[in-house]
Amino acid sequence: MQLYDGGRAPNPRRVRIFLAEKGISVPTEQVDLGSLKHKAAEFAAINPLQRVPALVLDEGRVLSESIAICRYFEALHPEPALFGRGPLEEAWVEMWQRRLELHLLFPVAHVFRNLHPAMKEMEVPQVPAWAEANKPRVMDFLALLDRELGTRRYVAGEHYSVADITGMIAVDFMKPAKLAMPEDLNNLKRWHEDVSSRPSAKA
Ligand SMILES: N[C@@H](CCC(=O)N[C@@H](CS)C(=O)NCC(=O)O)C(=O)O
């Protein structure tokens, strides 16, 4: 298999962190988004959506979508469990992972993609008003997450999970999106320091 990675971009980073948590190493090729290599014919033939990450399997199919790739590795290497254990915990992790994706990662991405000059060839057209509309959504969700994290160590409970990975890469993505973390969200800060101190966070 071959993983097509994308440097500092948040979605490929989700997969790298997930693999690091599992202790799995996969042959990897970097796709340089800055020089639009993901839009070249060679990569478009691998993923017609022209997005990374993408995982080319030995049997020929190509998995894209970060969470689909993570789920494949979870099934191949169940330990440590990062999608929860048992019916309720698995559903709970799923719920939080999805909430973090829809209500934090996507709004932060909308801000970055619609305002940052480096994105003008990838986000066509850039709609600055859509970026501005998403800024308060990010702040509202961070406040909710801060309240939730006052009741437990990790996003979905007492065990680190894929929801923490999505949450951490989303919070880190706030920096290039020029979104400042509010000063008073102490539970969120404690959690972010905790998950960022894991060796996998450097992946
Ligand atoms: N839903 C996809 C999103 C993939 C995605 O948007 N990747 C970004 C990098 S974080 C990308 O390839 N962007 C290139 C572009 O927008 O042209 C996933 O979860 O993997």
Which atom of ligand 1 is the closest one to the Cα of 13? 10
- Given the structure tokens 């639009």, which residue do they identify? 36
Look up tokens 């480096």; give the residue.
118
Write out the two tokens for 144: 């909710």
Given this model, what pLDDT does residue 144 score? Answer: 98
Residue 136: what pLDDT?
98
Q: Write down the pLDDT at residue 66.
A: 98
Query: Facing residues of 5 across strands?
Result: 30
Could you report the per-residue pLDDT of 91-149, keeping only the tens digit for each?
999 999 999 999 999 999 999 999 999 999 999 999 999 999 999 999 999 999 999 99
Residue whose structure tokens are 């990010």 = 138
- The mean predicted confidence, pLDDT, of the chain is 97
Question: What is the CA(63)–ligand 1 centre distance, in A?
Answer: 13
The whole-number pLDDT of residue 34 equals 93
140 Cα–ligand 1 center, Å: 24
Q: In the chain, which stretches have pLDDT less than 50? A: none
What one-character DSSP code corresponds to residue 28? E
Ligand 1: distance of its center to the CA of 15 in Å? 12
* pLDDT score at 70: 98
Ligand 1 atom nearest 6 alpha carbon:
9
Query: Closest by alpha carbon to 148, among 198, 100, 87?
Result: 100
pLDDT value, residue 153:
98
> What pLDDT does residue 35 have?
95
